[in-house]
Amino acid sequence: AQTVTQSQPEMSVQEAETVTLSCTYDTSENNYYLFWYKQPPSRQMILVIRQEAYKQQNATENRFSVNFQKAAKSFSLKISDSQLGDTAMYFCATEASGSRLTFGEGTQLTVNP
C-alpha cells in the first residue's frame, strides 16, 4: 500500500517569488514514480513534473523543480518566478508497479499579484 501526505492545505505566494510545496510518502516498493499534478480552477488535471525513484538527480521542468529525498521519503516541489497562472490545486502522487496512482490531499496555491 502507498500513502501520500501533503501537510499544507493552502499556501500563497507573491508573483515572481519562489514557493515550495511539501510532500511525504510511504511505500514498500523499491521502484516507483513520483508526480506533481496541477489542477487549475477549470479542473483539468495536468502533469507538472515526474521523478523516477531510482534516479538520484532531481527532476527539473523550466520553473518547476523537485527536491527528492528518498531516504526521508520526501518529494517537495519548488516553483520559481511564480506566475498568476500557477494558481491551482497541486497534488503529489506516487505509483509503483502493479499499483495505480495514489494522490495526496492537495495543496491549494494562490499566486497574488
Partner 1 sequence: DAMVIQNPRYQVTQFGKPVTLSCSQTLNHNVMYWYQQKSSQAPKLLFHYYDKDFNNEADTPDNFQSRRPNTSFCFLDIRSPGLGDAAMYLCATSRGVGMTGWLNTEAFFGQGTRLTVV
For position 91 contacting partner 1 by CB under 8 A, the verdict is: yes
Choice between 16 and 55, CB closer to partner 1: 55
Residue count of the chain, please give it: 113
Among 47, 54, 81, 84, binds partner 1 (CB under 8 A): 47
- Residue 81 in grid coordinates: 518566478
Name the nearest CA neighbour of 16 among 95, 84, 99: 84
Please list the residues that pair with 77 across neighbouring strands: 21, 66
Q: Quick one: DSSP state of residue 105?
A: -
Contact 77, 8 (CB under 8 A): no
* Of 43, 56, 57, 72, the one binding partner 1 by CB under 8 A: 43
Residue 26 binding partner 1, by CB under 8 A? no
User: Toward partner 1, which CB reaches closer, 43 or 113?
Assistant: 43
The residues of the shown chain that bind partner 1, judged by CB under 8 A, are: 4, 33, 35, 42-47, 50, 91, 95-98, 100-101, 103-106
